[in-house]
Structure 1
Amino acid sequence: MKHLLSTFLLCLVACYGFAQSTKVVVRARAKDAKFIGTGIGGAYVVIRHDLTGEILAQGLTTGTSGNTDLMLKTPHQRYDRLTDDQTARFEANLKLDAPTFVTIEATAPINRKSAAVKASTQLWLIPGKAIDGEGIILEIPGFMLDILEPQTHQVLSLNALKDSQIKLKINLVMMCGCVITKGGVWNSEQIEVKAFVKKDGVARGEVPLNFAGMDNIFEGSLPIKEKGMYEVQIYAYDRITKNTGLDRMNFVIQ
């Protein structure tokens, strides 16, 4: 009996008395698109002890964005894998000596602060019990939208404007960097792009932008009749997936 009791106590010590390596895989996937990996700069992942706030692990997702056909064109059944060994991920090996409740967050795409979105979840980590395979997948909604024309705080002469108009031009991509084209996997025809316009702080209406025939590029024309300080906020809205994105800038007409 004593021998059995000693063996039982040793098992308890082995299980809970010493830190055990616990593998955790975290991925960030753009909504309606692919995984966020090396090609777009990655997602920055933080694994934090929920009670104490201690950071247990942190780092970038690295790897490819994944297989387009597999993720977006192939029917899936329960337990089907959407990733492989090359698909972007952050991997941590934590030393845990007790079950630990954690918050896992991802900010992506980390190299695009103006467009970056933070997503998070919480779960229990059990010592020695890996969270691997697909791992934890955090969805990152939105678009990356950049205003290309006019330039930030550009000063333009009213008399020099051709046809009294300014071109509005943007570059729009998915959060994983995937291209938007007419009739493509990410179809420009289902995305509404418009500019909200203000002059001297007063709303002056909206201007539509249309796909320009080049990957990711949308253009429109803004009529200008008066001098002043202008602000444009250009948004993209996918009518099917409900993804959104926005960029803003100011320019001067003198």
Structure 2
Amino acid sequence: MRLFYSIILSTLFLCPVELHAMPTKITIRVKAKDAKFIGTAIGGAAVIVRDNLSGSILSQGVTAGGSGDTKIIMQTPLTRYQPQTDSTTAKYVAVVDVEEPTLVDVEVQAPLSRRGAAIKGTTQLWVIPGKDILGDGIIIELPGLILDILNPYTHQSLSEESFKNGVFVFRVNLVMLCGCPIATGGVWDANNFEVKAYLKKDGKVIGNYELNKTDVVNLYEGKLPSPVKGSYELTVHAFQNKGYNAGADRINFTVQ
């Protein structure tokens, strides 16, 4: 009898075990620092999942859905295992076929609709065949702000008439990386943001300016004194004092 069992065990160990790829889901979400999730309304976030060893792409796509519930995300203290998302919150579900535990690299870039402000983030995780990652899934947080100079526009040629009473009013639009609004007294309070600018001519800074929040949501404005004729470069940057987010934009314009 012992000989029989020995033969059976030997046969089991000698027979090769064939591994089969098993589709495994990975829920991936991208969240703006001190704000909400990056979804369809701001173009979504590009997601690429790669095998860490080979570098081959296992899955890629774009997050889609809403930015999430403001009260849950921004105004409710989180407890362990408490969901931050619901069925409508932006996500990308990667389906990867792995035969064995596999270390993967996840790379995201967002927001896609504002490439000038897009930030890249990465993380790594082990994927176990058949062990889906659901719910909130993997959340990658990105710092940053979306700042767009609205006026003057790129390569605009300003005439003397553009400077009323000797000044030109320039304006920028500022939002969180998820597109969330900035307003005085709002969830993202304009009083917590500094927005400043500097003007260059021939590569040298010739002026520094502070922008003030207007009554319009997201809109800031400042005043440029009438410069001499020539080509100029205007850089505007914003900094969130409590959330430690930052953003910038730069354009060129001319004065006739």
Question: TM-score band, normalised by the shorter chain?
Answer: over 0.9
Q: Is the 8 A contact 2:227 2:255 kept in 1?
A: no
Q: Return closer, same or farther for 1:93/1:160 CA change in 2, 3 Å cut-off.
A: closer
Which of residues 220, 239, 248 in structure 1 aligns to 2:250? 248
Q: Is the 8 A contact 1:99 1:126 kept in 2?
A: yes
- State the SS of the aligned residue for 2:228: coil
Gaps of 5+ in 1: none
Opposite residue 227 of structure 1, the aligned amino acid is K
Counterpart code for 1:199 = K
User: Which residue among 24, 45, 49 is the counterpart of 2:47?
Assistant: 45
Conserved in 2, the CA contact under 8 Å of 1:115 and 1:145?
yes
- How far 1:200 moved relative to its partner? 2.1
1:222 partner amino acid: L
Deviation of 1:131 (Å): 1.8
Partners of 1:40 and 1:7 lie apart in 2 by 56
Report deviation, 1:225: 3.2
Distance 2:115 2:59 in 1: 21
Q: How does 1:77-226 map to 2 (within 5 A)?
A: 77-158=79-160, 161-226=163-228
- Deviation, 1:210, is 0.6
Aligned sequence identity (%): 48
| 1:5 CA displacement | 6.8
1:161 CA displacement: 2.2
CA distances 1:211-241 after superposition (whole Å, capped 9, x unpaired): 0111100011011231221111101101111
CA contact (8 A) 2:162 2:168 kept: no
> Which protein shows a greater Rg?
2
Determine the C-alpha separation between the residues in 2 that align with 1:38 and 1:127: 30
SS at match of 1:34: coil
Partner Cα distance (2:170, 2:248) in 1 = 14
CA distance, structure 1, for counterparts of residue 146 and residue 10 of structure 2: 61
Secondary structure of the 2:165 match is helix
Shift of 1:160: 5.4
CA distance in 2, matches of 1:43, 1:229: 36
CA shift in 2, pair 1:27/1:6, >3 Å: farther
- Give CA-to-partner distance per residue, 1:28-52, whole Å, 9 cap, x none: 0011000011111100100011121
Superposition deviation, residue 158 in structure 1: 3.4
TM-score, scaled relative to structure 2: 0.93
- Backbone CA RMSD of aligned residues: 1.8
Aligned-pair distance for 1:9?
8.3
TM-score between both structures, scaled by the size of structure 1? 0.93
> Which portions of structure 1, spanning 4 or more consecutive aligned residues, are displaced by more than 4 angstroms?
2-10
Report deviation, 1:6: 6.5
